[in-house]
Structure 1
Amino acid sequence: MYLHATDKVLKDDNLLALFDIPKILWPRLRLSWQRRRHHMITGRMDFCMDERGLKVYEYNADSASCHTEAGLILERWAEQGYKGNGFNPAEGLINELAGAWKHSRARPFVHIMQDKDIEENYHAQFMEQALHQAGFETRILRGLDELGWDAAGQLIDGEGRLVNCVWKTWAWETAFDQIREVSDREFAAVPIRTGHPQNEVRLIDVLLRPEVLVFEPLWTVIPGNKAILPILWSLFPHHRYLLDTDFTVNDELVKTGYAVKPIAGRCGSNIDLVSHHEEVLDKTSGKFAEQKNIYQQLWCLPKVDGKYIQVCTFTVGGNYGGTCLRGDESLVIKKESDIEPLIVVKK
């Protein structure tokens, strides 16, 4: 459904405009979509699951996380601390990732690009393990400080190695912000810098360089943007897995209550949960307050042993890759929310 909606958006300028993506990138977005085969490694879908059924909240198609916790930490717990008749539903995640890399169009050497964040350190190392298992050489780049230019103006790392294939933990939206900061006017071309030795390397100079192959690809910003949710609802109204979502608070949302979410928000920031009595049930702050919002039917997480529990499933190479649980004492799952132990019991 998400891919069908993505295709519809990329064929319609009026729909694409709803995503607030710099217009200079629209041709690249469409080209990225045309080349999508074997060019996406992994994402994560967030669900609510209880006695009412299963509902999808969103699809983190670009720069999803929680792989290390599900595929490594909980797997170690399941191996050493759990003695029952069951298994970790993400036990094969590392193998699935390695398989996706083997079938990808990645070049033999992959630079793993991450921000200087502790969580991203182990996320990068987990993906590096999958790449090594798939037979690739790698180097982790923490920040952009060691990147520069060679005499021919090509992008190189601190060891002088050409950078032409990257997997990133950064969100594409960070690169979009850099484009917005350069100028508000229309560009004749994407404003990436040339390889002059005095030019500092920015994120857009890497991710938007034509010769650099990037995972996850540019087109993933469409299904990963919450502006896709009203379009999904319009294409598949009243589908049992979807929640009514709109760009305004419609009459049905007033009746059910609704969640207010910024279209490119992350980590549970700037979300309001409003009941059908117009009571604010929960509210988070963050840096996305200036973004456009969507309004999604209120569908609160179930509370289990004092925590609200969300089901997260990983997509790997377009297929199911594993499941984990996230929990929080508040109704909104955030960056600091816990990863909960999960075992699937065999009967």
Structure 2
Amino acid sequence: MTHIATSRPFGTLLGYAPGGVAAYSSDYDSASDSEYPKRSAFRNYVDGIYMGYKWQCVEFARRWMYLNHGYLFDDVPMAYDIFNLRSVRDIASNTRLPLQAFANGSKRHPQPGSLLIWEQGGEFEQTGHVAIVTEVFADKIRIAEQNLDHTIWPDGRDFSRELIATITEEGEYWVACSFNDALILGWMIQTDDDRYAEASVETNKQLFSLSSHYAKPLLEPQKSWLNVANEDEAAYVHALHGHKLSAAVADQYRYYVLSKTAQDTLRRATNELHGLFMHATDYVLDNEALLDKFNLPRALLPKIRQSWDNRLNQLITSRFDFAMTTQGLKVYEYNCDSASCYMEGAKIQGKWARHYGVHEGEDAGKDLFNQLVQAWRKSQAKGLVHILHDHDPEEKYHALFIQQTLEAAGIESRMIAGINALTWGESGNIVDAQGEVLQWVWKTWSWETALDQIRLECESDAVVPENYQPASKKGQAPRLADVLLHKNIMIFEPLWTLIPSNKAILPVLWSLFPNHPLLLNADFQLNEALQESGYVSKPIVGRCGANIQLIDQDQDIIEATGGQFAAQDHIYQALFPLPLVDGYYVQVCTFTAAGKYAGSCLRVDSSMIISKESDCLALRFVNDEDILQQNQPVIKK
């Protein structure tokens, strides 16, 4: 609630909470464009540690805890998510300390320093809210906070407001919210004492165990089941030489299952990790020393930063690669630029299940197509979208599938195989064979393909241009780089996706969020901890599992792949092998649409390293009870 008469401009000091921690106005409408010219200017760091966005409620709570106690709670998507946390990280010792949640009305009363948490809804729609408890009385509590109103605290006061409280005869402590449409969840206390705390439900680890199942054999197993009247399905049948999901005949009936709890975990992990990767991207673009490690042509850095500032919310889709085991869920990397498997995930695995009569659980990619359609509708693409793809059969059916999502979104598109049909036209624009100017482009090529051309061109010059622009040559064919880096052409996925797709982002993430449960230890240098755990050597830029080495604790090579990326710089990531399930190593992938979870699929291989040749097999999500029942040991009488 904003009090207009006394509202202070963004960044105005409102007061000091106990410990001398400042609270500031978060009136974003009054933020100065010159002082805050871009998004990164709103990020606040203390001692090089990220606190949050200036000057939101979560930022204040994290900064207060750090300055007064030296620990932090994990980064969260929304303030109400804090109530689900159960630990904080002690920065000095890099250890975890217990964090207990007490519901409003608990017999464990709040105390100074507690985090008071509001549910989403009402005054705090979508976000919830968090404040620091400064004093506790029998009939009231005092709190300090940011991002509620933008008024200066009265002189001599180290809190922003008071809330009415009541203690019942049973000793329960209840706090009233000052807004009728908001709800206080309770308070968080860093303590070992869990009496009266909300229970931390231990999830049965078997719910994260993949299992292999088989459909019943058909009388006519070779019967066609994909509709070749649809261009994308016809291209898929051509690429796989038949109506099949797996290239291996022995696996035509095989599929895998995971629990609904695993599905929920994947959904939350995907959404959280997207936010972490976006934070790390912003951090890298503001840190020249880190940016150098990404091996990007310096002439393109202004374009990458411009893309980040202007097109952050124009991501259509991306893919995370996970290892899901009973020991935990770990992300390997983020394919944020030119990911694959969309058609297999959104269309083929569902049609396979219907053909083979598999009704167990639900299709892991059933919502993906519609979510991609919605992402296109939210995008700024107007008019004709040109779909650029290579002559590779897989890229063709992938491109045709994306064309289907564009059509469903009401957006006109045109397929372009290769770039030989394109020419430089009038006024420096690039046109297709029909004379249509390219303005919007979706591509299967990775950005890195174009960058190789730019490196050769720019780095051979004595002076590197400040901001690279392709040179127009009327009537001649453009290069791929000319198309992708043309100032009048908007590319999907945007140029900034070069940063989160580069494996150099992995050590950055670990440095920003050390010991995060979804991340693996990663470094630019091979350190002692990685040697002790075993590690994976990865080129910072690579595709399809090329040039990867898996090294065990004895420094022996477990597995390795060749490829064209051997000359690239490498990073080192802790070894966390894929689970071996019924003869195959299985990698779970999740897709995003506009940065949110949109579906899942999986890749399998007899090798520990997933590659371009690895099969996609159907994934089904089934009820937890069915998973646990299947995993019950058989008792022989």
Q: Match for 1:39 among 302, 307, 314?
A: 314
CA distance in 2: counterparts of 1:268 and 1:82, whole angstroms: 33
Aligned to 2:558: 281
Aligned to 1:136: 411
Q: Match for 2:472 among 191, 194, 213?
A: 194
Tell me if structure 1 keeps the 8 A contact 2:469–2:487: no
The answer to whether structure 1 residue 13 and structure 2 residue 288 are counterparts is yes
Tell me if structure 2 keeps the 8 A contact 1:314–1:320: yes
Q: CA deviation at 1:154?
A: 2.0
State the Cα deviation string for residues 196-223 of structure 1 (Å, max 9, x = none): 21x3210111110011011000001101
CA distance in 1: counterparts of 2:352 and 2:563, whole angstroms: 33
Q: CA deviation at 1:345?
A: 1.3
SS of 2:313's partner is coil
Q: CA deviation at 1:191?
A: 4.9
- Between 88-97 and 177-186, report the one with greater CA deviation: 177-186
Q: CA deviation at 1:18?
A: 0.7
State the Cα deviation string for residues 256-302 of structure 1 (Å, max 9, x = none): 01000000111000000000101100000000000000000011111
Aligned to 2:494: 217
The answer to whether structure 1 residue 325 and structure 2 residue 325 are counterparts is no
CA distance in 2: counterparts of 1:120 and 1:231, whole angstroms: 31
Q: Match for 1:259 among 536, 552, 573?
A: 536
Aligned to 1:335: 612
Tell me if structure 1 keeps the 8 A contact 2:346–2:369: yes
CA distance in 2: counterparts of 1:258 and 1:83, whole angstroms: 38
Tell me if structure 1 keeps the 8 A contact 2:424–2:477: no
Matches within 5 A, 1:56-75: 56-75=331-350
State the Cα deviation string for residues 39-88 of structure 1 (Å, max 9, x = none): 11000000000110100000000001100111111111123323333111
Tell me if structure 2 keeps the 8 A contact 1:38–1:105: no
The answer to whether structure 1 residue 163 and structure 2 residue 438 are counterparts is yes
Change over 3 Å in CA distance of 1:183–1:8 after alignment to 2:
closer
Aligned to 1:308: 585
TM-score scaled by length of structure 1: 0.97
CA distance in 2: counterparts of 1:169 and 1:211, whole angstroms: 19
Tell me if structure 2 keeps the 8 A contact 1:179–1:191: no
CA distance in 2: counterparts of 1:29 and 1:303, whole angstroms: 40
- Between 175-184 and 82-91, report the one with greater CA deviation: 82-91
CA distance in 2: counterparts of 1:41 and 1:87, whole angstroms: 24
SS of 1:178's partner is helix
Change over 3 Å in CA distance of 1:279–1:37 after alignment to 2:
closer
CA distance in 2: counterparts of 1:4 and 1:120, whole angstroms: 30
The answer to whether structure 1 residue 179 and structure 2 residue 457 are counterparts is no
Q: Match for 1:247 among 494, 508, 524?
A: 524
Identity of aligned residues (%): 47
Q: CA deviation at 1:149?
A: 2.5
**Larger relative contact order (C-alpha < 8 A, sep ≥ 6)?**
1
Q: CA deviation at 1:187?
A: 2.6
Aligned to 2:359: 84
Structure 2's unaligned 5+ residue stretches are 1-275, 626-637
Q: Match for 2:548 among 250, 271, 276?
A: 271
Aligned to 2:378: 103
Larger radius of gyration: 2
Change over 3 Å in CA distance of 1:225–1:332 after alignment to 2:
same
SS of 1:342's partner is strand
Tell me if structure 2 keeps the 8 A contact 1:155–1:195: no
SS of 2:520's partner is coil
Q: CA deviation at 1:11?
A: 0.8
SS of 2:542's partner is coil
Aligned to 1:232: 509
CA distance in 1: counterparts of 2:313 and 2:283, whole angstroms: 20
How many residue pairs get aligned? The number is 346
CA distance in 1: counterparts of 2:313 and 2:502, whole angstroms: 21
- Between 218-227 and 176-185, report the one with greater CA deviation: 176-185
The answer to whether structure 1 residue 299 and structure 2 residue 601 are counterparts is no
Q: CA deviation at 1:169?
A: 0.5
CA distance in 2: counterparts of 1:102 and 1:134, whole angstroms: 6
Please, what is the CA RMSD of the aligned residues?
A: 1.1
SS of 1:38's partner is helix
2:472 maps to amino acid? T
Aligned to 2:298: 23
TM-score scaled by length of structure 2: 0.53
SS of 2:610's partner is coil
Aligned to 2:221: none
SS of 1:343's partner is strand
Tell me if structure 2 keeps the 8 A contact 1:256–1:297: yes
Tell me if structure 1 keeps the 8 A contact 2:469–2:485: no
State the Cα deviation string for residues 122-170 of structure 1 (Å, max 9, x = none): 0000000000000011101110010012344421001111111100110
CA distance in 2: counterparts of 1:180 and 1:151, whole angstroms: 27
State the Cα deviation string for residues 93-125 of structure 1 (Å, max 9, x = none): 111101000000112210001111110000000
SS of 1:70's partner is helix
Q: CA deviation at 1:192?
A: 1.1
